[in-house]
């Protein structure tokens, strides 16, 4: 996809689009869109929180306007707020307006009420892989936790969900991919050649940023070790509702925006230990009076197996976080230089 066309199309889209261009013998460009974290919230009967609906409706409408068409859409998890069948169904109804194939990953808000039963019934397995035009895509359920905690005697599944559906979660548990999925991943990757670009989709970051908010995956290093043999690996995740990026060894990390609401950066919570990657230039504080501020979408161009994310931020300055081949890491094209950063707003 030509970038100019992509950016025109993205001018008002709450989604992400990915362009990939590589392949040893016959490189093929292609794009995919990425929509995430809609947190569809049921009130009662057929009533849902309208603002969260609007974010997803807009994403779907704008994705359908894209020209050329993205090859597929990826949905990054947290389709529901409390995992209720009504919420999942309502979210899927809205997403059903998309033309083309959609791949999904599980978010914790989809999972903890019934341990993913309804989500899986509607959408299938929570971890899988597929190949597309020379790229190996892997989807992992990264929001699992200790079996004993999941299966302890809860008054109800909703009590378990309410423990996990909080940003600050003193009684919650850390997310993890877990041993059985790691074994599966090892087998899945065994047949993939070292020079095949690998893209991993997870809901939580497969890196450790801030444990108290579960911007964290407890067995991140073990998953990273399985990805180490490959020349080019990118992990794209939702969950954090903000821009984050990082480079750890051969692995580039990028977050996707939410269509629902922004989260603050963990650094705003100064008493807490946090490991926001040094590379990441934080976004401006969201305007609380603008319901779409600090929500958004991104175009992702993939050049020779590395990813450039073009974030489109309504009512804010767009950003490009692009892989810099010389530096071997993603950098913010406009705002990496501290002198060029936009100071936080102070007028609220
Ligand atoms: Fe979320
Ligand atoms: Fe989440």
Whether the per-residue pLDDT at 102 is higher than 80: the answer is yes
Which DSSP category does 68 fall into? S
Task: Between 95 and 277, name the one with better pLDDT.
Answer: 95
Average pLDDT, the chain: 86
Residues 165, 187: Cα–Cα separation, whole Å: 32
Asked whether the beta carbons of 36 and 238 are under 8 A apart, the reply is: yes
pLDDT at 68: 75
What is the rounded average pLDDT of the residues 162-169?
84
Kindly identify the ligand whose nearest atom is closest to the C-alpha of 205. 2
Residues 58, 55: Cα–Cα separation, whole Å: 5
Whether the per-residue pLDDT at 195 is higher than 90: the answer is yes
Strands 135-139 and 198-202: parallel
Whether the per-residue pLDDT at 96 is higher than 80: the answer is yes
pLDDT at 270: 63
Residues 280, 332: Cα–Cα separation, whole Å: 8
Candidate from 70-79, 295-304, 313-322 with smallest mean pLDDT: 295-304
Kindly identify the ligand whose nearest atom is closest to the C-alpha of 143. 2
Which candidate, 250, 244, 248, 253, places its Cα nearest to that of 276? 244
As given in the structure block, the two tokens for residue 341 are 């950063």
Whether the per-residue pLDDT at 5 is higher than 70: the answer is no
Burial state string for 134-164 with b = 16 or more CB within 10 A and e = fewer than 16 = bbbbbbbbbbbbeeeeeeeeeeeebebbbbb
Whether the per-residue pLDDT at 6 is higher than 60: the answer is no
pLDDT in tens, 54-95: 999 988 988 888 777 888 999 999 999 999 999 999 999 999
Q: What is the whole-number distance in angstroms between the Cα of residue 126 and the centre of ligand 2?
A: 15
What is the rounded average pLDDT of the residues 146-174?
89
Residues 282, 116: Cα–Cα separation, whole Å: 33
pLDDT at 36: 95
Q: Which residues contact 189 (CB under 8 A, 6 or more apart)?
A: 136, 138, 198, 226, 227, 229, 230
Whether the per-residue pLDDT at 170 is higher than 80: the answer is no
Q: How far is CA 261 from CA 53, 128, 140, 147, 288, in A?
A: 11, 28, 24, 30, 10
- Phi, psi dihedrals of residue 312, rounded to the nearest 5°: -110, 120
pLDDT at 278: 83
Q: What is the whole-number distance in angstroms between the Cα of residue 150 and the centre of ligand 2?
A: 17
Helix axis angle, 50-64 relative to 85-95, nearest 10°? 30
DSSP-H helix ranges across the chain:
3-10, 50-64, 85-95, 108-111, 117-123, 147-150, 157-164, 179-190, 220-227
Which candidate, 129, 176, 125, places its Cα nearest to that of 148? 176
As given in the structure block, the two tokens for residue 221 are 């290093």
Q: Which residues pair with 198 in a beta bridge?
A: 136, 233
Say whether 144 sits in a helix, a strand or coil. strand
Say whether 135 sits in a helix, a strand or coil. strand
As given in the structure block, the two tokens for residue 131 are 């190949």
pLDDT band at 9 (very low <50, low <70, confident <90, very high): very low
pLDDT at 168: 76
pLDDT in tens, 247-276: 999 999 999 999 999 998 887 776 667 788
Residues 220, 126: Cα–Cα separation, whole Å: 18
Q: What is the whole-number distance in angstroms between the Cα of residue 212 and the centre of ligand 1?
A: 15
pLDDT band at 16 (very low <50, low <70, confident <90, very high): low
What is the rounded average pLDDT of the residues 109-128?
98
pLDDT at 77: 98
pLDDT at 20: 55
Q: What is the whole-number distance in angstroms between the Cα of residue 242 and the centre of ligand 2?
A: 12
Rg of the chain, C-alpha, whole Å: 19
What is the rounded average pLDDT of the residues 130-154?
94
Q: What is the whole-number distance in angstroms between the Cα of residue 165 and the centre of ligand 2?
A: 8
What is the rounded average pLDDT of the residues 286-299?
74
Residues 143, 239: Cα–Cα separation, whole Å: 10
Q: What is the whole-number distance in angstroms between the Cα of residue 39 and the centre of ligand 2?
A: 9
Whether the per-residue pLDDT at 11 is higher than 80: the answer is no
């Amino acid at each position: 996809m030509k970038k100019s066309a992509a950016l025109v199309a993205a001018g008002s889209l709450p989604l992400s689009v990915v362009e990939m261009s590589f392949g040893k013998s016959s490189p093929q460009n292609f794009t995919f869109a990425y929509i995430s974290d809609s947190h569809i919230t049921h009130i009662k009967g057929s009533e849902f929180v309208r603002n969260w609906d609007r974010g997803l409706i807009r994403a779907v409408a704008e994705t359908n306007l894209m020209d050329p068409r993205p090859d597929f859409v990826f949905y990054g998890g947290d389709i529901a707020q409390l995992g209720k069948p009504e919420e999942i169904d309502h979210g899927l109804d809205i997403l059903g307006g998309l033309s083309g194939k959609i791949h999904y990953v599980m978010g914790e808000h989809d999972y903890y009420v019934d341990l993913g039963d309804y989500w899986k019934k509607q959408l299938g397995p929570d971890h899988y892989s597929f190949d597309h035009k020379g790229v190996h895509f892997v989807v992992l359920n990264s929001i699992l936790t200790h079996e004993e905690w999941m299966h302890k005697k809860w008054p109800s599944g909703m009590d378990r969900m309410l423990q996990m559906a909080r940003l600050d979660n003193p009684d919650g548990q850390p997310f993890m991919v877990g041993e059985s999925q790691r074994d599966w991943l090892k087998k899945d990757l065994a047949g993939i050649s070292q020079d095949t670009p690998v893209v991993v989709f997870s809901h939580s970051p497969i890196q450790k940023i801030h444990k108290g908010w579960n911007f964290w995956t407890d067995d991140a290093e073990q998953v990273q070790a399985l990805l180490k043999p490959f020349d080019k690996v990118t992990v794209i995740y939702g969950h954090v509702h903000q821009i984050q990026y990082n480079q750890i060894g051969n692995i580039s990390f990028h977050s996707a925006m939410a269509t629902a609401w922004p989260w603050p950066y963990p650094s705003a919570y100064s008493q807490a230990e946090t490991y926001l990657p040094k590379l990441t230039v934080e976004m401006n504080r969201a305007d609380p009076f603008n319901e779409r501020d600090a929500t958004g979408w991104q175009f992702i161009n993939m050049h020779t197996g590395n990813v450039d994310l073009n974030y489109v931020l309504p009512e804010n300055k767009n950003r490009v976080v692009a892989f810099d081949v010389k530096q071997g890491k993603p950098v913010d094209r406009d705002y990496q230089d501290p002198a060029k950063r936009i100071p936080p707003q102070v007028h609220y």
